[in-house]
Amino acid sequence: MSRIRLEVLQWYALIGGALAWTTEHVLGYFVSDGGCSRQVAHAGLWGGLLVGFAAAAVAAAEAAAITVYRSTSSAAHDAPGPDGRLHFFAVAALVGNVLFLMLVGLDGLGSLSHLPCVQS
Amino acid sequence: MTVTTAERSLATLERVWQARPGVLGWLTTVDHKRIGLLYFWTTLVFFAFGGTEALLMRTQLATADEHVIGPGGFNELLTMHGVTMIFFFIIPMTTGAFGNYLIPLMIGARDMAFPRLNALSYWLFLGSGVFMYSSFLVHQAPNAGWFDYVPLALKRYDGGLNIDFYALGLIFNGVSSTVGSINIVTTIFKLRAPGMSWNRMPLFCFAMLAAALSLIFALPALTMDCVFLELQRKAGFDFFSPPGGDPLLWQHLFWIFGHPEVYIIVLPAFGIATSIIPTFARRRMLAFPLVAMAELLVAFIGFGVWAHHMFATGISTTTLAFFAAASMAVVIPSTIQVFAWLFTVNLGTPLFRTPLLYIGGFIVFFVLGGLTGIMFAAIPFDQAATDTYFVVAHFHFIIFGAAVFPLFGGIYYWFPKVTGRLYDEQLGKASFFTVFAGTLLTFFPMHIVGLLGMTRRVYTYDSGLGWDVYNLIETIGGFVLAAGILLILVNLIVSWRRNLPAGRDPFNGGTLEWTIPSPPPHYNFAVVPTVTSAYPNWDAADRAHDVEKLAHGESVLADGHQTPTSTVNDAFADPVADMPAESPWPIVVGVAVTAAFFMLLTMHVLVAAAFVAITLLALTGWHADDEDAAWPPSRLARANGWWGMVLFVAAEATLFGTLIGSYVYLGFRNVQWPQAPIAKPHVLVPVLLTAALVASAVPVQLAWRAGRSNRTKAAWRFLAGAFALQLGYFIWQVHDWVDAIHDAPPSRSTYSSIETTMLGFGHAHVLLGLLIDAWLLVQLARRFTPYRLVGLQSAAFYWWAVSVISVAVLLTQESVHL
């Protein structure tokens, strides 16, 4: 795999999942809040779409992390850059994206479970 | 006697980096070590203030129906205790003192990326502290709690200057923290020794990077919140008062800052732990990449949990579910680190010296405080226990046990490096056990009284509620804790004066600071250090190579205040940077800005404007004496100045994100938006003007390109053209803005308030850009240097960013037509 492609994949793996969750989390908050104040129509649908897109983006980031990890598996953790750095961040992204996938899933459970707007 | 090459090199470095002696030397210093020490001693003074406030409160609460302090005084003490410990002790101690002193030493640099800006951040910090504490002199200290909830903090309920001291003081302090954070991030990005790619950077620096980035992105929300508050209190705007405004807006914005703040406080503690543990466990950190990732993840996820402080405010259940999930998930990266620390100690051959004992205490309190934190992520428990002493117990276990214990450990650990003397180990251990016992005694019983129903912030209580014994124990614990902290101070002062020399490396630490003499010389490193792992001091071959380089006079960099720079990702060597020497301008700017804030407080707006003008003049002087540097032969990566601008713009973009988010939030709260009888904004003129502004970024970009190919006249003309267009835009927009304020005064509606503020901030950024352009035009007409080329490149980036922000503001403004 070319160096440029590996670089793109590594940075996407490292920050793509994080950005996807952030977008889903912040917009999801506004959608759910707007739904409760009747400013956003079909809030459940929008929330579901956001979760779907975010989950796909995080899964793609995890796939990117796996690809970079496998392509640089011969490099040690403290090997010189760029191989060492690519491998290092791929390991980090492998774990981080699992966490972001879990976060998106939990947000999805929250937004799709039709909780009441008013606290009991 | 023959003078060797090495001796000659060292003598040259000594001469080049010699600091000015005496008080004047300290006032004009830009040396990161001196600034770190200034931060250290100043924050210790504030720590003493905050600690005294805590002891006074504990004395009042020692027994039921005490009358040591009245309710008003108690409110001021509890507010100033929180504000002091967070904004004037922990953050400046970690980022200002530890960060400043240690980051360049750990990455092999000779100073921070922006030495004068570094000095400025200290003087602004000191000014903001003086500003905040002067409130006691006029008996009007902040008094609405450290999170200053509205409506309590509005003029109607708190009519003195108390809250104005709070809001202006925090805006002021935020400027200092933002400037300091931009410096830390740029330093880590650009000044790592060649070879120190990300995977070889010390974990301490990862933690400081995460904390600094968090500050850059978190502080704008607090700044905007305080701006809203001051506009409402002093100019009659309406953001927080129903029916148009919403008091919960304050809480949202405060906690968007406030929760990341918890991690900003704890992250440097993680960094200190990951420095101390490998040294005393005598092995490398286990799961190094995962610990690095966990440090960044904690910071990142910390931004997504702000509303877990608002579970009892009545916000919708569906919204709460989002934040409960994220609050629980943030435990995972923290747990990764706890296991990594414990297994590193377990798999190593640990030496339980004082620094490691403090880290042990930190882990105990971090786990206990973390467990109660998870309890608060459960919505029903939070709703029952919120605003009780259980919360006070939880966050003191985290903020004192988890954040301050590593600071004490770090003070012991780096004491020999900073002073060149060993500390007293027996006294060190005695201090640890005293502090540990004091912490447990003070804060553990708070869990119990909290569950028994004692609410936080009460200034007294009746006897017979079952709280008396616990409160007495807490007060005794508070004094034991104070005794332990005094023991630390006594140990350090006595050891500094009397103890044995420490030598270069008394603990066999792994990072670069242990490769140089103690205390470090002004130039830090005699040669650019060789780095091939994350623990370079344990790489004997590399250290021998450095000695050889010095013997041959290689990589000494003694032609001025020089430091190596490198590429951001893989730390390939980039051109050497010339660093500035001592300068009086930072302290001049610091004093002028402090005076301006005092004038704003007392509403002497014209005098404040005069001090702002003095600040601008001082900044002109600051930049006027830049020497011509040689043109870089080749540059692999962008310059420090460009990165500084990118980070500044990131903070500003976050500020606008906060404004736009507030606009949308307030719009959701109003059935009619804009509120009658205000007309919807025009479409055509704002769209055309914004298009003109976006177009004006093109000639600035062309000016930089022309400058890069040495066509200086063309560069000047492109910039002058852009300036004319931008000035026209500014005049037209400000004229329209003033008309709009006249037609629909901000005091009339929430819509006008947020609209006026949003557009006003937009225009202020255009004005700032115009000032940058004007300065560049004058400078380019005089001389064209690489320094100014970087200025041009940064200006081009700034105008593109302003263009994007203006489009976002336009879309927000016109969204009412949808």
**pLDDT tens by residue, A49-90:** 999 999 999 999 999 999 999 999 998 888 997 999 999 999
* Cβ-nearest to A107 among B316, B325, B669: B325
pLDDT at A47: 85
Rounded CA separation B169/B131 (Å) = 6
Of A22, A37, A110, the CB nearest to B322: A110
Question: How distant is the Cα of A83 from the closest Cα of chain B, in angstroms?
Answer: 9
Residue B257 sits at the vertex; the CA angle it makes with B253 and B259, to the nearest 5 degrees, is 115
Per-residue confidence (pLDDT) for residue A119, from 0 to 100: 64
Average pLDDT of the segment spanning B162-181: 96
Q: Comparing A28 with B112, which gets the higher pLDDT?
A: B112
End-to-end CA distance of chain A: 56
Decide: B340 and B283 in contact? Cβ < 8 Å.
Answer: no
Which residues lie below 8 Å from residue B158, measured CB to CB, with a gap of 6+? B143, B144, B152
Cβ neighbours of B297 in A, within 8 Å: 96, 99
Which pLDDT score, from 0 to 100, does residue B708 have? 87
**pLDDT given for residue B629 in this prediction:** 53
Q: Three-state secondary structure along chain A?
A: CCHHHHHHHHHHHHHHHHHHHHHHHHHHHHHHHHHHCCCCCCHHHHHHHHHHHHHHHHHHHHHHHHHHHHHCCCCCCCCCCCHHHHHHHHHHHHHHHHHHHHHHHHHHHHHHCCCCCCCC
Closest residue in A to B662 (Cα–Cα): A30
Nearest to B522 by CA among B97, B24, B8, B34: B34
**Cis before B674 (ω within 30):** yes
Asked if residues B124 and B590 have their Cβ atoms less than 8 Å apart, the reply is: yes
Residue B607 identity: V
Residue keyed to tokens 């960099």: B557
pLDDT confidence of residue B29:
96
Q: Is the pLDDT of residue B630 over 70?
A: no
**Confidence at residue B113, expressed as pLDDT on a 0 to 100 scale:** 94
d(CA B424, CA A76) in angstroms, rounded, equals 40
Please tell me whether residue B569 adopts helix, strand or coil conformation: coil
If you average pLDDT over residues B631-647, what whole number do you get? 76
Residue B633: band (very low, low, confident or very high) from pLDDT cuts 50, 70, 90: very low
pLDDT of residue A76: 83
- Residues of B within 8 A of A77 (CB-CB) are 199, 288-289
**How much is the average pLDDT of B431-456?**
97
Chain A residue at shortest CA distance from B302: A22
Q: Where are the beta strands (DSSP E) in B324-481?
A: none
Give CA–CA dist B400/B411, Å, rounded.
15
Task: State the nearest Cα–Cα gap between B662 and chain A, in angstroms.
Answer: 11
- Assess contact for A113 and A33: CB atoms under 8 A: no
Number of Cβ within a 10 Å radius of residue B748: 17
**CB neighbourhood size of B483 (10 A):** 14
Tokens of B120: 């400025």
Q: Which amino acid is at B688?
A: L
Q: Is the torsion defined by CA of B177, B182, B185, B191 positive or negative?
A: negative
Kindly report the average pLDDT of chain B as a whole number. Answer: 93
- Preceding omega of B151 cis (within 30 degrees of 0): yes
User: Higher pLDDT residue, B697 or B555?
Assistant: B697
Residue type for B572, please?
Answer: F
Residues 331-350 of B with CB under 8 A from A: 332-333, 336
* Tokens (6 digits) for B779: 């400078």
Q: Min CA distance, B310 vs chain A (Å)?
A: 12
Residue B54 has a pLDDT of 97
Asked whether B566 and B576 are in contact (CB, 8 A), the reply is: no
Query: Which residues of chain A lie closer than 8 angstroms to B320, CB-CB?
Result: 119
pLDDT band for position B576 (cuts 50, 70, 90): confident
**What per-residue confidence (pLDDT) applies to B627?**
57
Minimal CA–CA distance to B245: which of B257, B256, B237, B253?
B237
Does residue A82 have a cis peptide bond before it, meaning omega lies within 30 degrees of 0? yes
A-chain residues near B293 (CB < 8 A): 91-93, 95-96
Q: What is the mean pLDDT of residues B92-98?
A: 96
Shortest Cα distance, chain B CAs vs residue A62, angstroms:
14
Q: Residue A120 above 60 pLDDT?
A: no
What would the mean pLDDT of B12-21 be, rounded to a whole number? 91
Please give the pLDDT value at position B187: 97
d(CA B226, CA B505): 46
How far is it, in rounded angstroms, from Cα B71 to Cα B404?
29
Would you state the structure tokens that stand for residue A116, as one six-digit string?
Answer: 């009441």
Question: Residues 6 or more apart from B199 whose CB is under 8 A from it?
Answer: A77, A78, A79, A81, A84, A85, A87, A88, A89, B289, B534
- Range in A11-25, A97-111, B515-529, B631-645 with the lowest mean pLDDT: B631-645
Query: How far is C-alpha B98 from the chain's CA centre?
Result: 12
CB count in 10 Å sphere of residue A94: 19
Q: What is the pTM of this model?
A: 0.95
In single-letter form, the type of residue at position B165 comes to: F
Quick one: closest CA in A to B663, which residue? Answer: A30
pLDDT tens sequence across B294-353: 988 988 888 888 888 888 888 887 778 778 888 888 889 999 999 999 999 999 999 999
Is residue B322 left, alpha or beta, with left meaning phi > 0 and alpha meaning psi from -120 to 50? alpha
